[in-house]
Amino acid sequence: MDIRKILAQNLRALRKHKGWSQEELAHRAGVDRTYISALERGIYSATIVMVEKLAAVLDVEPPSLIDRGMRIRQPKR
């Protein structure tokens, strides 16, 4: 699978796990919503700096955004 598609899937899954809209994630990351949309559709390639920024906003390690086998852990109750 193309690395852009992996980033797209992981970004979307993490954003939805947080219960955020694309607009909310964009606001927190300081980018335009259309940029988040393009990343989630695999149209744009994110820079390594942007991967780091998005990871920080989503509270994950940067490599997890491009991990083919990323699993979202559910919080313990």
**pTM across the whole model:** 0.88
Q: Return the pLDDT at 70.
A: 74
- SS3 percent helix, strand, coil of the chain, rounded to 5, is 60, 0, 40
- Rounded percentage of the chain residues whose pLDDT exceeds 90: 86
Closest C-alpha to 36, from 12, 67, 4, 3: 12
Token code pair at residue 69: 């086998």
- Residue 44 has what pLDDT? 93
**Residue in 74, 75, 71, 58 with CA at minimum distance from that of residue 39:** 58
Superfamily of structural domain 3-59: lambda repressor-like DNA-binding domains (1.10.260.40)
* Number of residues that this document lists for the chain: 77
**Residue 76, pLDDT score:** 46
